[in-house]
Amino acid sequence: MNGTADSVAIEAHELSKVFHTRKRDVQAVDCVSFRAETGEVFGLLGPNGAGKTTTLRMLATILTPSSGWARLAGFDTREAPHEVRERIGFVAAETGLYDRFTARETLRFFGRITRLEDAEIDRRSAEIFDLLDLTAIADRRVGTFSTGEKQKLSLARSIIHDPPILILDEPTFGLDVMAARAVLDTICLLREQGRTIVLSTHIMRVAEKLCDRIGILFGGRLQALGDLETLRNTYGGEDLEDVFFSVVQGERNNLSFSDSPDHGMV
């Protein structure tokens, strides 16, 4: 990538994470490096256990890397975690919402956590409800929401402080077709606002629909990286599914049982 320092929103350099257990050490992520430019949607594609969630949690300062480093919006996740958190919105597969709150109370709660004034929270909430088509249910309790509505509210919560970077971990996980489509449309709207988005998924069509560039994770390692056309030209096949299985099968063939690393399902 030929981006300048100012155009690079996210930079990960040889990120690694080892989880120490009583029985063994588990290498969840192994020397993962990539960049995402400002306004880009960058996808991490891989099966369950590939290391996607661990990688995103290191970017979001939830986990500390065992080695390597990451910078978001110019701030190092280890040296300036508070500055990083102010500039990101993080959405996990678990929405982290409170059923007894209304949608409006939810945004007020998270807005106050980010130290916004109430007037600013109200202004931002109105804009976000309108953008994400949530105005009609703004005063309903979250416990009455569908799974898709909860995921949209989780996205709304993540942008109440207007962050330039969004980190989305499996944003369509567990959603039916209609709900998943609504969430994908919402992510497209957030992309049109110029936000940088990095997301993980194991669903090929999500990566194809949303991502400017894709990194394929397998066994904790970044096995391939590029836009869809580049990946197709390099690995063959008509679509991302063909590319994915070509990459994964090639890596499996390169590893023997004796020298393959012990990766955890993280």
What is the per-residue pLDDT for 255?
53
Give the mean pLDDT of 51-74: 97
The two three-digit tokens of residue 239, written as one number: 């679509």
Give the mean pLDDT of 98-105: 97
What is the per-residue pLDDT for 96?
81
What is the per-residue pLDDT for 99?
96
Which of the two residues, 249 and 3, has the higher pLDDT score? 249
Q: Is residue 229 pLDDT above 80, yes or no? A: yes
The lowest-confidence range among 27-36, 141-150, 244-253 is 244-253
Q: Are 125 and 108 contacting, i.e. CB atoms less than 8 angstroms apart?
A: yes
Distance from CA of residue 72 to its chain's centroid? 13
Cα separation, 117 vs 115, in Å, equals 7
What is the per-residue pLDDT for 187?
92
Q: Are 244 and 225 contacting, i.e. CB atoms less than 8 angstroms apart?
A: no
Give percent of the chain with pLDDT exceeding 70.
92
Helix, strand or coil, per DSSP, at residue 61: coil
Q: Are 212 and 40 contacting, i.e. CB atoms less than 8 angstroms apart?
A: yes
Mean pLDDT of the chain: 90
Q: Is residue 91 pLDDT above 60, yes or no? A: yes
Q: Is the pTM of this model over 0.95?
A: no
Q: Is residue 2 pLDDT above 60, yes or no? A: no
Phi, psi angle pair for 21, to nearest 5°? -115, 170
Beta strands 165-169 and 196-201: pairing type?
parallel
The two three-digit tokens of residue 18, written as one number: 């080892």
Q: Is residue 31 pLDDT above 50, yes or no? A: yes
What is the per-residue pLDDT for 258?
36
3-state secondary structure labels for all residues of the chain: CCCCHHHEEEEEEEEEEEEECCCCEEEEEEEEEEEEECCCEEEEECCCCCCHHHHHHHHCCCCCCCEEEEEECCEECCCCHHHHHHCEEEECCCCCCCCCCEHHHHHHHHHHHCCCCHHHHHHHHHHHHHHCCCHHHCCCEHHHCCHHHHHHHHHHHHCCCCCCEEEEECCCCCCCHHHHHHHHHHHHHHHHCCCEEEEEECCHHHHHHHCCEEEEEECCEEEEEECHHHHHHHHCCCCHHHHHHHHHHHHHHHCCCCCCCCCCCC
Give the mean pLDDT of 216-230: 96
